[in-house]
Structure 1
Amino acid sequence: MNKNNYKNPGVFSIGEKNDAFAEYFVGQSYLNMLSTSGVVIGNVTFEPGCRNNWHIHHRGGQILLVTGGRGWYQAWGEPAQELNPGDVVSIPPEVKHWHGAAKDSWFSHLAVEVPAEDAANEWLEAVEDEEYKKL
């Protein structure tokens, strides 16, 4: 995919290639940090087929606000749920999960980090291709 050959699926600029976290994604994502103090909010945009690895937010949790495209969210041990603009996912602390684009759609969401003392993010294994392709 070429960043210049798409229609922005969200309402915020997609920002730059998400190179700082590339090792935790399958495919290309983009990051535009909207707030880095107080409540941390990033606009994350995924090219079709891109998803992040399984991960856990320790102590603080995360809220996803879907702004464009079509994607997926899955908590460990639960079926994946389709995400569309306007959907909100509240992810409690300590829940292993992943999120990303559908195979055939760009996808954007605001990732809101819930403030908490000593909050941390633990990155884990990639989502298995076989499981993702079933969605």
Structure 2
Amino acid sequence: MARFEELKEKGNFPLGEKNEAYAQFFTGQSYLKALAQAPDGHFGVGNVTFEPGCRNNWHRHLGGYQILLVTGGQGLYQEAGKPAQLLRQGDVVVVADGVKHWHGATADSWFSHVAITAGQAEWLEEVSDQDYAQAHPGK
């Protein structure tokens, strides 16, 4: 289980500031550091860090995609209608255009990933506490 200090002080990318701009789409505290923007504006790259138990709402990327490169801690990724996947450092997730999904930290670990995102995010409903608890491996 990753602790805050591990990701802040030894992470591959800066932690960033509290993610106030997107706070309404997250349960719990996240941190965001913009890393790069494509010269043509087609996609952006950011480091997102989640405190234990933090996750984003269900959402989809319209007219684009999202690629998640896991850089630390343990997290969860789930597509609608499928079981959740446990994510660890080195894992890569490719989310196709329009796929409803969510991602975030496990209940007992910090989690960090680099998100490469193209298209417009459509934010949907929160991931319920019950659904989040059931997403953990072994539940």
After TM superposition, the structure 1 = structure 2 runs for residues 71-90 of structure 1, keeping only pairs within 5 Å, are 71-90=75-94
Identify the residue that residue 64 of structure 1 maps to in structure 2: 68
CA contact (8 A) 1:53 1:98 kept: yes
Deviation per CA, 1:23-72: give whole Å up to 9, x if none.
00000000000012343100000000000000010011100000000000
TM-score normalised by the chain length of structure 1: 0.90
Deviation per CA, 1:68-96: give whole Å up to 9, x if none.
00000000000000000000000000000
Unaligned runs of 5+ in 2: none
Q: Helix, strand or coil for the counterpart of 1:133?
A: helix
How far apart, in 1, do the equivalents of 2:105 and 2:47 lie?
A: 14
* Corresponding letter in the other structure for 1:126: E
Q: In the alignment, does 2:45 pair up with 1:47?
A: no
CA contact (8 A) 2:49 2:113 kept: yes
After TM superposition, the structure 1 = structure 2 runs for residues 103-122 of structure 1, keeping only pairs within 5 Å, are 103-114=107-118, 119-122=119-122
CA RMSD in angstroms comes to: 1.2
| Higher percent of residues as strand | 2
Identify the residue that residue 133 of structure 1 maps to in structure 2: 133
Q: Give the number of aligned pairs.
A: 127
TM-score normalised by the chain length of structure 2: 0.87
Shift of residue 8, structure 1, vs aligned partner: 3.4
In the TM superposition, structure 1's runs of 4+ consecutive aligned residues that sit over 6 Å from their partners are none
Shift of residue 7, structure 1, vs aligned partner: 1.5
